Amino acid sequence: MNTNEPDNLPLRDIPYEEVQFLSSGSYCVSFVDMVRSTQEISQINDATKIRKYYSIFLNSLAVIARNFGAKIVKNVGDSLIIYFPNSLDSTNKEIWSDILECLLALMDARSIINTNLYQEGLSSVNYRISADYGKVEVARSMSSKEDDLFGATMNMCSKINSFVPSNNIALGGDMYQVIRYLHLDKGNYSLTELGEYSTGHKFAYPVYILKAKQSRPESPFRRTSKLLIHNNLKNSIRSQKNKKSDINIMLVDDESATLSTFQTILVDENYHVDAFRNGEDAIRNFVTVPSSHYDLIVSDVRMSPINGLELYNKLRELSPSVKMIFVSALDGLKEIVSIMPEIKQSQILQKPVSKERFVEAVKMNLGYHAT
């Protein structure tokens, strides 16, 4: 009789999840890949110099990416993979101009990188950049603090990269459509069709070469996101206003007027507020800060694609001690208490709610944090 346990355990029986999928969204992703690095490395016998060769290349580009608000997904061999969290908004011209400027800065850094390599007695480097836009799955490994991305957009961007001539930037067809929609191809950027990448399906996928119409005199390492500068200035002003408060509140509501009203009330009370128009953006932000960062979450219930109750359950998985207030115009809102006994009546507010009642509920749920 064979007493061996089966190798394929049902998913429910697997006790440990190394990778946790957090959300889905459409983002701009980019691959920066060295050309013929294997041949170059094979001619270097000194391990220290090999490390220096990769270090100068990867770390130089990582600095530029972060200056533009991009996140480093991973280093794979001789490639750097990044994505732009702000690109979730495909209608903001300033965001996408920043993305194009980042890609150009990454390529413009080549002469400085090669100067540094020469000073170390190393060969110059050639590389190519591919970027595309589309839906990805955002995940986080238990052993890493960085996001990881999966999905067809990642696969296509990787494949496009091999199609790109050395020292050029190529955009996939889906990203090209965003650039055209925002009319960025009519301004400071030139986009010419490189050709079509065969996907193995009925239609080939168009690929475009990105160029700047005018050179950028400033060092690529000194360039930065205009949007980040603007936001940092706003945050600095807000920080001055809220200087005496150390309370962080997350506000989530898909109605712009309600979101703005609640945010104004909380800021006037000297709380630090991060506001989001949907649960997906809220979750993406939540995983980037310490689990105890937010003292209170205030959320609408009826939202899409993640409603307030689903948001609550997800945030509790990430931080079991999270505190939350539910605000909604739903008539059956009080029934939440019967189906979710851990939620107290004091955590439920029904719209319309007065400023005084709202502030009172916030202070009550903050408990000893209240000011």
Instruction: Write the CATH number for 183.
Output: 3.30.70.1230
Q: How far apart are CA 73 and CA 137, in angstroms?
A: 12
Handedness of CA 67, 68, 73, 74 (dihedral sign): negative
Three-state SS annotation for 187-232:
CCEEEEEEEEECCCCCCCEEEEEEEECCCCCCCCCCCCCHHHHHHH
Shared domain for 161 and 253, answered yes or no, is: no
Mean pLDDT, rounded, for 108-116: 94
- How many domains are there within the chain? 2
Shared domain for 130 and 251, answered yes or no, is: no
**Is position 23 within any domain?**
yes
Shared domain for 76 and 199, answered yes or no, is: yes
31-42 per-position pLDDT tens digit:
999 998 778 778
The CATH number given to whatever domain includes residue 305 is: 3.40.50.2300
Mean pLDDT, rounded, for 207-226: 90
Q: How far apart are CA 29 and CA 87, in angstroms?
A: 9
pLDDT-derived band at 170, boundaries 50, 70, 90: very high
Antiparallel, parallel or unpaired: β 324-328 and 296-300: parallel
Shared domain for 259 and 208, answered yes or no, is: no
* Residues in contact with 214: Cβ distance below 8 Å, sequence separation at least 6, in sequence order: 188
Shared domain for 42 and 172, answered yes or no, is: yes
- Residue 369 above 70 pLDDT? no
Please report how many Cα atoms fall inside a 13 Å half-sphere around the Cα of residue 154, on the Cβ side. Answer: 16
Q: Which of 158-162, 167-171, 323-327, 346-350 has the highest mean pLDDT?
A: 167-171
pLDDT-derived band at 302, boundaries 50, 70, 90: confident
At 231 the pLDDT is: 58
Torsion of CA 213, 131, 133, 184, to 10 degrees: 0
Q: How far apart are CA 355 and CA 262, in angstroms?
A: 8
**Structural domain of 325:** 242-369
Shared domain for 167 and 29, answered yes or no, is: yes
Distances (CA, A) of 97 to 39, 45, 75, 207: 36, 43, 25, 19
192-215 per-position pLDDT tens digit:
999 887 766 657 899 999 999 998
Q: Which of 130-139, 235-244, 321-330 has the highest mean pLDDT?
A: 130-139
The least confident of 76-80, 277-281, 315-319 is 76-80
61, 106 in Cβ contact below 8 A? yes
Structure tokens at 114: 């090669």
pLDDT-derived band at 186, boundaries 50, 70, 90: confident
Q: How far apart are CA 67 and CA 328, in angstroms?
A: 39
Shared domain for 265 and 178, answered yes or no, is: no
